[in-house]
């Protein structure tokens, strides 16, 4: 389910709507669940056999056609290629629209004029200067990783298969710089046979050494792809990346998921720790620095800084994940030397910077009072001062990702009147 809060002229409009995916429409008409969830419906050998047989039968008698999509469009949102999309990495994106009255309308499943046959990441990266979108998909069969771009006019580039990804890795996110794409190769691997052995299509490989793969943005094949081993660095989400040393070194800021073996079943046991990783492209050396030992994931930055050196990160504080007890503003411009001297508080604010001239917004639910609200914080303030709050009529469940968009940007897409701010977020249904 997709939730939106539109704030304009001192008023707020809240809306919750299911994205009208193929799965939603088929199951709504049937009145019961038809398309199985690979992550939860095959959790034992008996469940695999029984639910597998039922699914095959339903496919044969025409109750559903998986080629129309199996995804929930429930992971993230992105504005690129002339559309606002609801995304899930197991399917194509769904184009959605926000009506002037605040309603959420599903436009439909989008295949970029037939050029995107199957799924794509839920975390494409949009260059703030060019408007280009950079994306990929991962797959349990070769090629395990495929890279592509989408022009601002919605035209998709041809696929670039990455055959140097030799095992089927679970790649949820990646990063871009001005000239490069950075892919993580973590200890989480996709494995369809895992449904038989462990009941899960994603598993943990303790013998694998995590890597970072670096590919030029406009590569026409993978011949210039370079892989760098980074033992112990499991990046599920990226926060940002940029180049230094005239492009010879890449800096990646990301949470390193400690205890990643618990990622799928016990999120409360993992402990993401934000690190700065430097990759020397010429010498082939990698160095790592801990930016915070707090439990921080699902961080966000000013989207105008994507791919460029930035200073501020805003992240929920896991209590434990997926719950959060607050939001922290982190200054990642502090040098490694300063870090050792613990000079943190004096470096929160930097002169001549407008990177944090904006808002940090989030949905919040108080489990004690059972009240839900939408919070707007001043990103420039050191304590993230709450400048507006909207009491919500119902709870927005703990979810995945949200997106803050200016209505003026949406008006450019849809040519509607009005002004205001929109925050959208998903829950897990």
- Annotated binding residues for Fe cation, as ranges? 123, 172, 237, 401
For the purposes of burial, counting CB atoms within 10 Å of the CB of 125, is it exposed (0-12), middle (13-18) or buried (19 or more)? buried
Q: What whole-number distance in Å separates Cα of residue 129 and Cα of residue 92? A: 25
For the purposes of burial, counting CB atoms within 10 Å of the CB of 224, is it exposed (0-12), middle (13-18) or buried (19 or more)? exposed
Give the residue from 247, 380, 352, 253 showing the smallest Cα distance to 310: 253
Distance of CA 72 to the CA centre of its chain: 15
The number of beta carbons lying within 10 Å of the beta carbon of residue 87 is 28
For the purposes of burial, counting CB atoms within 10 Å of the CB of 321, is it exposed (0-12), middle (13-18) or buried (19 or more)? buried
Q: What whole-number distance in Å separates Cα of residue 109 and Cα of residue 107? A: 7
- Spatial CB neighbours of 173, under 8 Å, sequence gap ≥ 6: 121, 123, 184, 235, 236, 237, 238
The number of beta carbons lying within 10 Å of the beta carbon of residue 53 is 10
Q: What whole-number distance in Å separates Cα of residue 252 and Cα of residue 243? A: 9
The residue assigned the tokens 């979108």 is: 133
Give one DSSP letter per residue of 34-79, joined into a string: -SPPTTTTT-SHHHHHHHHHHHHHHHHTTS--GGG------SEEEE
What φ, ψ does residue 223 adopt, rounded to 5°? Answer: -60, -25
Binding-site residues, in ranges, read 123, 172, 237, 401
């Amino acid at each position: 389910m997709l939730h939106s809060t539109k704030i304009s002229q001192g008023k707020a409009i809240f809306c919750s709507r299911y994205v009208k995916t193929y799965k939603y429409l088929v199951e709504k008409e049937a009145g019961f669940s038809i398309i199985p969830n690979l992550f939860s419906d095959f959790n034992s050998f008996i469940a695999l056999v029984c639910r597998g047989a039922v699914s095959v039968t339903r496919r044969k008698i025409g109750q559903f056609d998986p080629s129309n999509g199996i995804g929930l469009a429930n992971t993230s949102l992105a504005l690129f290629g002339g559309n606002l999309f609801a995304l899930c990495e197991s399917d194509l994106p769904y184009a959605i629209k926000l009506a002037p009255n605040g309603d959420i309308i599903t436009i439909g499943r989008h295949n970029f004029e037939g050029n995107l046959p199957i799924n794509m990441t839920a975390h494409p990266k949009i260059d703030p200067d060019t408007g280009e979108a950079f994306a990929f998909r991962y797959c349990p069969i070769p090629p395990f990783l495929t890279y592509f771009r989408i022009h601002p006019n919605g035209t998709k580039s041809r696929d670039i298969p990455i055959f140097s990804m030799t095992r089927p890795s679970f790649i949820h996110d990646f990063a871009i710089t001005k000239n490069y794409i950075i892919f993580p190769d973590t200890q989480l691997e996709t494995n369809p046979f895992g449904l038989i052995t462990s009941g899960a299509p994603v598993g943990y490989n303790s013998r694998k050494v995590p890597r970072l793969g670096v590919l030029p943005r406009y590569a026409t094949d993978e011949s210039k792809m370079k892989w760098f081993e980074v033992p112990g660095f499991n990046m599920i989400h990226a926060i940002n990346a940029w180049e230094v040393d005239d492009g010879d070194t890449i800096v990646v800021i990301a949470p390193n998921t400690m205890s990643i073996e618990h990622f799928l079943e016990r999120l409360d046991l993992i402990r993401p720790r934000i690190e700065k990783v430097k990759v020397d492209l010429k010498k082939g050396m990698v160095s790592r620095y801990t930016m915070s030992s707090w439990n921080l994931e699902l961080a966000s930055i000013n989207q105008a800084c994507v791919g460029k050196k930035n200073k501020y990160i805003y992240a929920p504080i896991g209590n434990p994940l997926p719950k959060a007890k607050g939001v922290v503003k982190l200054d990642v411009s502090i040098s490694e030397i300063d870090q050792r001297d613990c000079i943190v508080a004096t470096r929160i604010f930097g002169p001549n910077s407008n990177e944090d001239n904006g808002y940090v917004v989030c949905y919040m639910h108080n489990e004690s009072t059972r009240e839900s609200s939408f919070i707007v914080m001043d990103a420039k303030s050191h304590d993230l001062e709450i400048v507006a709050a909207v009491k919500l009529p119902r709870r927005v469940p703990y979810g995945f990702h949200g997106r803050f968009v200016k209505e003026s940007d949406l008006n450019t897409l849809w040519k509607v009147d009005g002004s205001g701010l929109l925050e959208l977020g998903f829950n897990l249904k």
